[in-house]
Amino acid sequence: MIRIHKPATAPPKLTTEGKKKTAEHHTEYLANPIDYQSGTKTFNFSSSIYNHPSVKKALISAQQQKCCFCERLVGNDGDVEHFRPKSAYSQNKKLEKPGYYWLAYDWDNLYLCCSACNQRQKKNLFPIADTKKRAHLNNYDIVIEQPLFIDPGKEEPSKHIGFRGEIPYAIRGNKKGKTTIENLGIDRNILNDVRLEHLQKMKIIYQLIQIAVEDLDNQELQQLAQQAKENLEHAVSDQGELAAATRASVHDEFELFL
């Protein structure tokens, strides 16, 4: 997981149709709050708004085609994920209704996410530090909630999650890093395997660069080393798949300053 920089201006689809739909949902809720809390009534969310091609395209561009959580490339195959769940939320296992319905079309609440992270890991989970501060209406201040999931669009994940090789860990055991890793499956076996394979390739690239330093007269080797360095620079950039783990290895293991 790395910091995501989305454009400050939301796609027009969200600020026009999305804003109108949000007002409708709020009116509906205020007219029958008990029914929505019990689940007797549900909101008719419009995926054609929050999942509109213009919205998805903007997310794909801002996130370099990567999943906001695991950093694997997904591109157009990714889901438009609601950071704060729109229909219902869960602190642990119990499902509570309604969810953050007023954020269904909110640009700050939307990310591109792979189906594994979205549908099999996060689902409706949204734990916060103090459940008494849970926002239930659009006039509540969500800033005071203190989510236990890292919001990559608003904070720097590397302050909470580090890597020892391919394995993620919560820095100094911090609760936000631990909760994010465990509940979003950042340490699931298949991801660890993918990161391990990726880092092994990065190490070979690094070793080629080091060998080239010892043989500056070999022009062919120098050309290959330059290409290798460019590949490594890309790998640690925001565009690089699994950039967080790669950056940690470059800093801690490879000792290479690009």
Domain ranges of the chain: 12-155, 189-254
Q: What is the pLDDT of residue 257?
A: 40
Q: What is the pLDDT of residue 256?
A: 46
Q: Let me know: does 254 contact 208? Beta carbons within 8 Å.
A: no
In tens, the pLDDT along 233-256 reads 999 999 999 999 999 988 766 554
Task: Check residue 68 and give left, alpha or beta (phi > 0: left; psi -120 to 50: alpha).
Answer: alpha
Residue segments in the chain with a per-residue pLDDT below the cut of 50? 256-258
Q: What is the pLDDT of residue 221?
A: 86
Using alpha carbons, select from 167, 228, 166 the residue that is nearest to residue 197. Answer: 166
Backbone φ, ψ for residue 168 (5° rounding): -80, 150
Cβ neighbours of residue 52 closer than 8 Å, sequence gap 6 or more? 11, 13
Q: What is the pLDDT of residue 137?
A: 78
In tens, the pLDDT along 164-215 reads 999 999 999 999 999 999 999 999 999 999 999 999 999 999 888 888 888 8
- Amino acid letter, residue 80: V
Q: Give percent of the chain with pLDDT exceeding 70.
A: 97
Q: What is the pLDDT of residue 220?
A: 87
Q: Let me know: does 112 contact 63? Beta carbons within 8 Å.
A: yes
Q: What is the pLDDT of residue 154?
A: 96
